[in-house]
Structure 1
Amino acid sequence: MRIFSKYTWRFPSNKKEIFLTFDDGPTPEITEFVLDELKKYNAKATFFCIGKNIKNHPDIFGKIVSEGHSIGNHTQNHLKGWKTNSKNYIENVLECENIILSEVEKSQQFKLFRPPYGKIKKNQAKKLLEKKYKIIMWDVLSADFDTTISKEKCLQNVLKNTTRGSIIVFHDSIKAAEKMQYALPIVLKEFSEKGFIFKAI
């Protein structure tokens, strides 16, 4: 089987459920904004955290966990897989894993991984799959990080492309904050009104 087909792009579902994901945190104020918005709708999400950000902001990371959201590994230093040799890449992932494990109970580490930029070499993916990681991609990209698009376009990217079982990518980062903070409350409201629930992976 091709490695590519072992990635999770969305969840086949006949239920009205959506999987919100947030990359690059935890980030002071921005991650807390996300958590407050999620709480308003009893929504659960998955946070793909960068190890060095967990280390710098353990209190915010602890809040993500205590409020019942899932945690994913997003490498220690936001490495681009295509430009990193595989040994260094895997070591960087494991460094992040150790920081996650130092902050949460082992039973809460779900072994979820998302490659920064969505870029990962086949042999890197193979090694992570061997280590029992699930590689979580997406079928809906908000593009909240894209400086060339408007916040309205970011919102439409999500509203127009989301279906049952979709995995949506937002970022709880400084770069994406303005667009994410505009789009997320509207996405939560609109899909909640349509009877969707937001689940953690």
Structure 2
Amino acid sequence: MYLIKSNILFKLLYPGRTWKFPLESDEKKVLYLSFDDGPHPVATPFALKTLKDFKAKASFFCLGKNVRDHPDIYRQILLDGHSVGNHSFNHLNGWKSSVPDYIQDIEKARDFIDSPLFRPPYGRMSKKQQSALLKAMPGTHIIMWDLLSGDFDTGISPQRCWSNVKKYSAPGSIIVFHDSTKAYERMQYALPATLEHFSARGYVFKAIPMQPAI
């Protein structure tokens, strides 16, 4: 089970994490697309081409093991002007991992991913793990999401995935897609639909900045 839309309870339980961006007065229609689990030899190039077609920027939260295996695709993400984030090396579930093992896995990914941004796999990271991460890697910004597209869910259709994004997106939303084998069928449909629909309504798509202060 998972919730498409993040709620206030999550934010109260886990302070110090970014779920959505406040809007500047001159930026009333901004969305932040993000992709987890890549780079992937098929899904990531598709996402990059689709984003380029709409002159959109996004953020890619990469697995260290996939950056190791697909360095050229990782470089292309950066060359295209997107931001990147650490999504751990082996996609560990924080609720099932010890604090030392969890931090070690993130630090291993840092050898391949140069970014202060981090998103916990499955969104699961305990408060102790969060404190240990910020101590081990000062300046880390923990990026969560405002809504999940559900593209990882093989039990829903591509159309339902797109419907999730259309229904719950709002100015400043951080939206999660996945550039992975499991999600590709739904992402391949929902990403172009998202870009076309919201671009036509005056939205712009920005990358989460990789800088000391967000």
TM-score class normalised by the smaller sequence? over 0.9
Aligned equivalent of 1:17? 30
Is the partner of 1:5 in helix, strand or coil?
Answer: coil
> Equivalent residue for 1:191?
198
1:4 matched residue in structure 2: 14
Q: Which moved more, 1:3-12 or 1:185-194?
A: 3-12
Match of 2:129 among 124, 127, 150: 124
Q: How does 1:22-101 map to 2 (within 5 A)?
A: 22-100=35-113
Quote the offset at 1:147 in angstroms. 1.2
Contact 1:3 1:125 in 2 (8 A): no
Q: CA deviation at 1:128?
A: 2.2
Contact 2:118 2:142 (C-alpha < 8 Å) held by counterparts: yes
Q: Tell me if the contact between 2:86 and 2:115 (Cα under 8 Å) persists in the aligned partners.
A: no
C-alpha contact 1:90 1:124 (8 A) present in aligned 2: yes
Q: Larger deviation: 12-21 or 38-47?
A: 12-21
Which residue of structure 1 lines up, in the alignment, with residue 211 of structure 2? none
What is the aligned length?
Answer: 192
SS in 2 for 1:78: coil
For residues 65 and 13 of structure 2, the distance between their equivalents in structure 1, rounded to whole angstroms, comes to 28
Percent identity among equivalent residues?
Answer: 53
The one of 155, 163, 175 equivalent to 1:168 is 175
TM-score by length of 1: 0.93
Q: Which residue of 1 aligns with 2:145?
A: 138
How big is the shift at 1:110?
A: 3.3
Task: For 2:180 and 2:63, locate their aligned partners in 1 and report how far apart those are by CA, in whole Å.
Answer: 11
TM-score, normalization by structure 2? 0.87
Structure 2, unaligned stretches of length 5 or more? 1-11, 209-214
Does the alignment pair 1:181 with 2:188? yes
Q: What is the CA RMSD across the aligned residues, in angstroms? A: 1.1
Q: Distance in 1 between matches of 2:133 and 2:199?
A: 35
Larger % of helix: which?
1
Structure 1: gaps (5+ residues) = 101-108
Residue 129 of structure 1 deviates from its aligned partner by: 2.7
1:3 to partner: Cα distance: 7.0
> Amino acid of the residue matched to residue 62 of structure 1?
R
- 1:43 CA displacement: 0.5
